[in-house]
Amino acid sequence: MAKKLYVGNLSYNTTKEQLHTVFSKMGDVTDIAIITDRDTGRSKGFAFVEMASEDAAQEAIKRLNGSQLDDRTLTVNEARPREERSNSYGGGRRDRY
């Protein structure tokens, strides 16, 4: 079963290809998503990497958490489930005006 990992403290210049090269040494990589700012398109400095197996994911965490990539110390751990987000104006209904 696939396992999603959070990868933090990335250089803004890190590419999907670089991440694939590094993580594929631990096992099959099924997906990589570098998170970008929706207005500027610039990397936010973190990504999600999906490994094909639990064993590969655990090996990636063990070997890559605290390692260096692009002169940055990586944070690699299991991704938490996405939290439900409320809207930016305090939640509730939009038609209160």
CATH number assigned to the domain comprising residue 51: 3.30.70.330
Whole-number average pLDDT of the chain: 91
Asked if the structure places residue 60 within a domain, the reply is yes
| Section 71-92 average pLDDT | 81
Q: Which pTM does this prediction carry?
A: 0.83
73: tokens are 């110390």
| Section 22-49 average pLDDT | 97
Query: What is the domain extent for residue 58?
Result: 3-75
Instruction: Residue 74: name the closest of 82, 63, 83, 85 by CA.
Output: 63
> What pLDDT score was predicted for residue 66?
97
Domain count, the chain: 1
Asked if the structure places residue 8 within a domain, the reply is yes
pLDDT greater than 90 at residue 1: no
Asked if the structure places residue 83 within a domain, the reply is no
Helices (H), 1-97: 16-23, 54-64
Query: What are the phi and psi torsion angles at 54 (to 5°)?
Result: -60, -40
Asked if the structure places residue 85 within a domain, the reply is no
| Section 47-67 average pLDDT | 98
Asked if the structure places residue 65 within a domain, the reply is yes
> What pLDDT score was predicted for residue 3?
95
Asked if the structure places residue 56 within a domain, the reply is yes
